[in-house]
Amino acid sequence: MKYIDEEIIFGLLDQARNAGSSKVRAILDKAKSLKRLSLSETAVLLAAQDKKILGEIFQAASFVKDTIYGRRIVLFAPLYISNLCSNNCLYCAFKSDNALTKRKALNTEEIKSQVKWLLERGHKRILLVSGEAPGVNSVDYYCDAVKAIYSVSVGPHRIKRVNVNCAPLSIEEFKKLKSAGIGTYQLFQETYHDKTYREAHPKGPKSDPDNRIDAIGRAFRAGIDDIGIGVLYGLYDWQFETLAMLSHVEHLEKEFNVGPHTISVPRIEEAAGVEFTKNLPYKVRDDDFKKIVAVLRLSVPYTGMILSTRETPQMRDELFSLGISQVSAESRTSPGGYSSEDNNRNNDIQFTLGDQRTLEEVIGSLIGQEFIPSFCAACYRKERTGEAFMNLARPGTIKGKCNINALITLKEYLDDFASESTKIKGYQLIRHASSGLDDESRKQLERFFNDIDKGIRDEFV
Ligand code: SAM
Ligand code: SF4
């Protein structure tokens, strides 16, 4: 696979096994000064096994998370527009030879009714997801879907940002997608281990690992500068995958001056009609998964980290403090799932969900843990993306804006969508959080809150 030197990665993991605790602590000190870690330093953290040292890694990750991101957690919902797929990825319910999956590509009206359902519950950010079916799930289909999503309004509410997770495109196609107004383009390499990649993707356009890894560069070249990458944990050894993904990040930083905007950490879940997911040779244990998130937080402190509803509420709660900055909520992983009466049908969902709570339940739980649920999309709308975003994030300039924007969006959510009990807890959290702001920011926030009381929506800094 291009850009990934397996020998170097295995070598770094081997060397890391002999590192003593003083070395680990020196690396943690560096990480706590918010500096990016090298691959060899990251390998040392990944190899750590001692319980006390692991505790120190988790503490350092919490410190970095809190210093850079504060208590904000950004919320979004995936919107599956099509499960038509010509690939046969061994792990996915949408694979072409899975006869159990009912196939469906939503039309524009169906997409709009899904979006209406999401807006009525308070969602503001969507991740558009699609299978790969050349000629059917085309770039024009994706662009029409993005435009349809932005066109829907429910009262004063609209979707603010549409991110896209679809199969690799050409530069020209990526340009079209960008001009439709997408936020992040997200594409998971699934596994960075060449042999495993080829075995897991036996047919269809996805069988070429180089086309997939090169798609990230094509997206950058087309001008999409917020890119999301990820590993599908459970296909191969998690230590190798994590270090290889970080070597991909290094490659992107060298070539494009900026790394990915986000990293996703999906773990393989069981999927209907998919034998492969029942017996995973490299299934990632919960404690190793926590280590992955903590080490990624330390290694690339300014890269957002996304967690989906594949994980259980308990696991999600633990990972918020260790590094996760964005989560999905109330997800359905089938085209049309949001308007369905029967949410438990499983003949067209992509995989089993660990967290089935409603958006309001997720928000209530975040508030209970003093996290600030945020629907902010200000950076993208103010063109603070890619390198420009990183230049603001590194000196901490962006944090003040994020805090204000998160509180604005939380008040809007509480006023317009929440039940009385969530409102009481939420307003209390807002009072507490605003008391920690400097005078100028507090006054600015008060002005925004007055506007919200007057019915004005969607202001941001
Ligand atoms: N079809 C496009 C692709 O493969 O890149 C994009 C959409 S695909 C539906 C999104 C992601 O779902 C894949 O990249 C894969 O990582 C993940 N996925 C597939 N099967 C899964 C499973 N059984 N459990 C968890 N995640 C899965
Ligand atoms: Fe198709 Fe994507 Fe599923 Fe593979 S992971 S079968 S490409 S939808």
311 close to ligand 1 (CB < 6 Angstrom): no
Q: Could you count the other beta carbons within 10 Å of the beta carbon of residue 455?
A: 9
pLDDT recorded at residue 347: 57
Place of tokens 């299934």: 283
Residue 172 pLDDT greater than 70, yes or no: yes
Nearest alpha carbon, ligand 1 atom 26: 268
349 close to ligand 2 (CB < 6 Angstrom): no
234 close to ligand 2 (CB < 6 Angstrom): no
Burial 22-54 (b: 16+ CB within 10 A, else e): eebeebbebbbeeebbebbbbbbbbbbeeeebb
Average pLDDT along the chain: 95
Q: Is the pTM of this model over 0.75?
A: yes
Chain-centre distance of CA 111, in angstroms? 22
Q: Could you count the other beta carbons within 10 Å of the beta carbon of residue 374?
A: 27
Point out the ligand nearest to the CA of residue 86. Answer: 2
Record the tokens describing residue 35, joined without a space: 């500096």
pLDDT recorded at residue 402: 87
* Centre of ligand 1 from the C-alpha of residue 222, in Å: 24
* Centre of ligand 2 from the C-alpha of residue 201, in Å: 9
87 close to ligand 2 (CB < 6 Angstrom): yes
126 closest CA partner among 81, 77, 90: 77
Which segments of 157-298 are extended strands (E)?
Answer: 157-158, 161-165, 185-186, 227-230, 262-264
Point out the ligand nearest to the CA of residue 265. Answer: 1
292 closest CA partner among 248, 250, 237, 254: 237
Compute the average pLDDT of residues 123-135: 97
Q: Counting atoms of ligand 2 from 1, which one is nearest the CA of 190?
A: 5
Point out the ligand nearest to the CA of residue 96. Answer: 2
Confidence of residue 397 (pLDDT cuts 50, 70, 90): low
Nearest alpha carbon, ligand 2 atom 6: 95
190 close to ligand 2 (CB < 6 Angstrom): no
Give, rounded to a whole angstrom, the gap between the first and last alpha carbons of the chain.
42
- Asked whether 115 and 367 are in contact (CB, 8 A), the reply is no
Record the tokens describing residue 1, joined without a space: 């696979």
- Helix then strand then coil, in percent of the chain rounded to 5, is 50, 10, 40
Q: What secondary structure letter does DSSP report for 285?
A: P
Residue 346 pLDDT greater than 60, yes or no: no
Q: What secondary structure letter does DSSP report for 95?
A: S
Q: What is the pLDDT of residues 173-187, one digit of tens each?
A: 999 999 999 999 999
Alpha helices in 81-138 (DSSP H): 108-121
Residue 341 pLDDT greater than 80, yes or no: no
236 close to ligand 1 (CB < 6 Angstrom): no
* Centre of ligand 2 from the C-alpha of residue 299, in Å: 29
Q: Provide CB contacts within 8 A for 346, sequence distance 6+.
A: 272, 352
444 conformational bin, left if phi > 0, alpha if psi -120 to 50, beta if neither: alpha
165 close to ligand 1 (CB < 6 Angstrom): yes
Q: Counting atoms of ligand 1 from 1, which one is nearest the CA of 188?
A: 14
